[in-house]
A = this chain, B = another copy of it.
Amino acid sequence: MLGTVLHAPGDIRCEEVEDPQILHPTDAIIKLSASCICGSDLWPYRGLQPMNQPMHMGHEYCGVVVEVGSAVRTVKPGQFVVGSFCLSDNTCPHCRFGFQSSCEQREFMSRAQAPYARVPLADGTLVATPEMPADDLIPSLLAASDVLGTGWYAADAARVQPGSTAVVVGDGAVGLMGVLAAKQMGADRIIAMSRHKTRQDLALEFGATDIVSERGDAGVARVKELTGNVGAESVLECVGTQESMTQAMNCARPGGNIGFVGVPHGVQLDGQGLFFAQKSLLGGPAPVRRFLPHLMDLVLKREINPGRVFDLTVPLEDVAEGYRAMDERRAIKTLLRV
């Protein structure tokens, strides 16, 4: 079959790869309904993450089960399923505590930019829909696999409460999903920090009440101005740079909570600074599996439309254009027809 392989920074190709096979009795093979490119795929694409050998790309997926290993009990061929980018057994103490992304057996999904994929730990990882979903819901169900679940976790880790104020740092796909999540969790005021018109518009569509286009100190000053010089109860950090983390810290009020989901690259935190700032920090790879049944339900009931975050669709063969468009910020997120 065809699959995407990153050979070197900037060199992503769609090429012949091996068909996935059941390797362990807990595996399932799915036929993907669609795949997509993640903001985190851009780190190695941009050469900002070391790579020693060609990488098979793709960790967001949904589709129909075509084969299961002998130990799989909860899903069967013919079912439509969504799974998290973090594979988990959903039975270990960390999973039961709601942190499936720290599962004792955790693996990260890969090779999902392809028509078929192997999903390890299928019982713990996959959630089936009651029936085959309508085609137009596929982008939103695919979003639940990572980008929506990650934005949701940012809001959860930032402890967004009904009636509260949330600031979202980062207007990438995850940040936009963070806006949607904060809205669903009842935030009264959602301040999206974005300099790009199309992203600002989507943020407003997802529930943002205010747009701040300034960055850094000027952005913080504007947030303070909007919050009576107090800062926000909740800040969702959805980028992962030192600058964005500093901005997030400074937008939160003392006692406020920062949920950080952008994988930190070169971020250092000074203990004493963090102490006197008196702000709560929780981050990490999102435990999407915890939220997945709820998110899928919201999508199936058409209460949310996270699939709107895909503003470019290309066939798998044109994956290079999909990466380029995201790298150049011409596209927010690229859907791959597989």
Contacts from A to B (Cβ < 8 Å): 93-94, 97-99, 101-102, 157, 228, 230, 240, 242, 245, 253-255, 260, 263-272, 274-285, 287
Q: Which 4 A-B pairs have the closest CB atoms?
A: A267-B271, A264-B271, A102-B254, A278-B284
Given A99-B254, A255-B94, A282-B281: A245 touches B271 (CB 8 Å cut-off): yes
Min CB distance A140 to B, Å, is 26
Given A260-B275, A275-B283, A278-B282: A94 touches B230 (CB 8 Å cut-off): yes
A282 to B268, CA, bound (A): 16
A101 to B280, CA, bound (A): 15
Report which of B253, B254, B263, B272 forms a contact with A267, defined as CB distance below 8 A. B272
Residues in B neighbouring A279, C-beta threshold 8 A: 282
Min CB distance A318 to B, Å, is 32
Report which of B97, B157, B265, B270 forms a contact with A254, defined as CB distance below 8 A. B97
A18 to B281, CA, bound (A): 44
A93 to B260, CA, bound (A): 25
B253 engages A97 (CB within 8 Å)? yes
A253 to B284, CA, bound (A): 13
B230 engages A278 (CB within 8 Å)? no
A265 to B228, CA, bound (A): 33
Given A97-B253, A97-B255, A268-B271: A102 touches B278 (CB 8 Å cut-off): yes
Number of copies: 2
Residues in B neighbouring A98, C-beta threshold 8 A: 255
B101 engages A278 (CB within 8 Å)? yes
Min CB distance A276 to B, Å, is 6
Min CB distance A226 to B, Å, is 14
Residues in B neighbouring A230, C-beta threshold 8 A: 93-94
Residues in B neighbouring A282, C-beta threshold 8 A: 278-281
A94 to B265, CA, bound (A): 32
Report which of B264, B278, B281 forms a contact with A285, defined as CB distance below 8 A. B278
A196 to B146, CA, bound (A): 48
Given A253-B94, A254-B99: A272 touches B263 (CB 8 Å cut-off): yes
A102-B255, A264-B274 known; 16 new pairs, CB 8 Å cut-off, are A93-B230, A93-B253, A94-B254, A97-B254, A99-B278, A260-B271, A265-B272, A267-B270, A268-B268, A268-B270, A269-B270, A274-B281, A277-B284, A278-B282, A280-B280, A280-B282
Given A268-B268, A280-B281, A281-B280: A275 touches B263 (CB 8 Å cut-off): yes
A93 to B281, CA, bound (A): 21
Report which of B93, B228, B268 forms a contact with A269, defined as CB distance below 8 A. B268
A101 to B221, CA, bound (A): 22
Min CB distance A163 to B, Å, is 13
B254 engages A264 (CB within 8 Å)? no
A268 to B98, CA, bound (A): 28
